[in-house]
Amino acid sequence: MSIPAAVPLHQGSDYLNRSAALSPALILCAVGLFTLSWDRIGNITIGTYNVKLSAIAFLLAFVAASVGGQVRHRQRVTSSVIWITTAITLSLLVSSLLANEVQIALQQVAVTAIGAFLPFGALIKAARSRQNLVFCLNWFVRGVLIAVFFGFYQLTASYLRLPQFVDYTGLSGGVGRIAAFSYEPATFGQIVLTGFAAVLARSILVRGSLPRTILFLFALAAVLANTRALLLTFPAFLLLARPWKLSPRSRTFILLAAVGVSYASLIVILIAPGVLDFVVSQFASIFNPHEQSSNARRLDQYAIVSGLLQGAWLFGIGPGNLFFKVSLLNQSVFDGKASNQVVANNIWLQAMADGGVILALIELTLILLVISKLFFRAPVATRTLASAWLSLILISGMVGSDFFTPARWVLLALACVALSFETDPVPKLMR
């Protein structure tokens, strides 16, 4: 199996090129998936909002799929997610009408719908078969691979003082980092983790061998992103997804790779003992509340948001209104100069701020649904995608307000579609 055009295509790609129902909606979804990591390029600026190319593609895909007719998936979980999404939207609308800045709140709800719910709906409507799902996974992984290669160049250029084209000069522990087309290395690392899960799921769906080179490149990019959250998120994903339960050949590869990495790590430590100190200090700093670059600052943010919610715990203060409440307190620990640029940096505090305990409970319901239907009772490919979603939501979501980021809802849609078609017989030309 292989995905990027630079590597010979086999294990079903020829079948997909001939037989996948390449509807306009599906092609637009491919564009949206390929450009999903493009946070800093190809955008249209409207006021303080950046309208991403992927968002436009998914919007057009949703319209095209809707014109083409309704699609009924065989799994009830998809309908359940749609009902929960509707409940989230209604909760946000009610909180918006009760907010001090109603117009700003309604704008934020519209942004949430376009950035999160429309990509989910477009993929649910457009991916009408197993072949379509694999086609979507192909294009998503291609996009991640392009971002990874650019990230390698970006990091090299920062040390060699070459043009980066998309500049990023941040350090962590005194060492360079990769952000690629994203604003932050943490966001890039999450995209890479999602791509890693997509590669595994694609291999399972076509019953093909693992593309070892691609997995290695993704793992290397995750390391070079140098983001502390991935030190917890990536292992959590591997534990949940249990990729060692694949075919005997895949298990042998994973075992050999683990042994090779262990020996290589030992050699690096012997040659440069400071590497071990760096890794240990980076990991330990995750739990250090006084760490100044992010931890102490986030704790200050959490304290401020918690104080603001004391009198608004039921419906919150409204989407996008956190900026105005914080401005009244004149606090400098928050970044941003606009309503959509000030966030709580925690999905639960963000939910409480946007829609109160009602919204937080609805979001918790979605998480429990994914655990029960897409993880515990799901086939392997579905569980792999759901494992990535859960690890990102439950771990990265503790240090970021990213419940409604497009990548999360794309991943959720892919898991729902996989559940619908994973048990279908695999066409011979895909094997």
Q: For each of the chain's 431 residues, which pLDDT tens digit applies?
A: 333 333 333 444 444 444 445 789 999 999 999 999 999 998 887 766 778 999 999 999 999 988 866 555 556 889 999 999 999 999 999 999 999 999 999 999 999 999 999 999 999 999 888 999 999 999 999 999 999 999 999 999 998 999 999 988 888 767 788 999 999 999 999 999 999 999 999 999 998 878 889 998 999 999 888 887 888 889 889 888 886 555 566 556 666 666 565 555 555 545 655 554 545 555 556 555 656 567 777 788 888 888 888 888 889 999 989 888 887 776 677 777 777 778 888 899 999 999 999 999 999 999 999 999 999 888 999 999 999 999 999 998 888 888 999 999 999 999 999 998 887 666 655 55
Q: Are 78 and 416 in contact (CB under 8 A)?
A: yes
Beta bridge partners of 176: 171
Give me the phi and psi of 404, to 5 degrees please: -105, 20
Residue 334 makes CB contacts below 8 A (sequence gap 6+) with 301, 304, 323, 326, 342
The DSSP element (H or E) to which 334 belongs, if any, is none
Q: Among all chains, which residue has been given the structure tokens 């990495």?
A: 261
What local confidence, expressed as pLDDT, does residue 15 receive? 43
Say which amino acid occupies 396: S
Residue 222 sits at the vertex; the CA angle it makes with 220 and 226, to the nearest 5 degrees, is: 110
What local confidence, expressed as pLDDT, does residue 43 receive? 81
Cα maximum dimension of the chain: 64
Of 212, 184, 180, 208, residue with least CA distance to 196: 212
Residue 174 makes CB contacts below 8 A (sequence gap 6+) with none
**CA 16 → CA 34, 167, 349, 415, distances in Å?**
17, 37, 43, 20
This prediction has a pTM of 0.85
Bridge pairing between strands 44-46 and 175-176 = unpaired
Handedness of CA 340, 341, 344, 347 (dihedral sign): positive
Give how far the C-alpha of residue 182 lies from the chain's centroid of Cα atoms, to the nearest Å. Answer: 12
Q: Is 265 helix (H, G, I), strand (E, B) or coil?
A: helix
What letter would DSSP give residue 375?
I
CA 145 – CA 133 distance, rounded (Å): 18
| Ranges of H-type helices in 309-346 | 322-329
Q: Are 201 and 384 in contact (CB under 8 A)?
A: yes
Strands (E), 107-245: 171-172, 175-176
What local confidence, expressed as pLDDT, does residue 353 receive? 92
Beta bridge partners of 46: 49
Q: Among all chains, which residue has been given the structure tokens 């604003």?
A: 183
Give me the phi and psi of 231, to 5 degrees please: -60, -25
What local confidence, expressed as pLDDT, does residue 67 receive? 84
Joined together, the tokens standing for residue 363 give 């979001």
How many CB atoms sit inside 10 A of residue 281's CB? Answer: 11
What local confidence, expressed as pLDDT, does residue 209 receive? 79
Beta bridge partners of 210: none
CA 58 – CA 429 distance, rounded (Å): 29
Joined together, the tokens standing for residue 147 give 């971002």
Joined together, the tokens standing for residue 181 give 């087309």
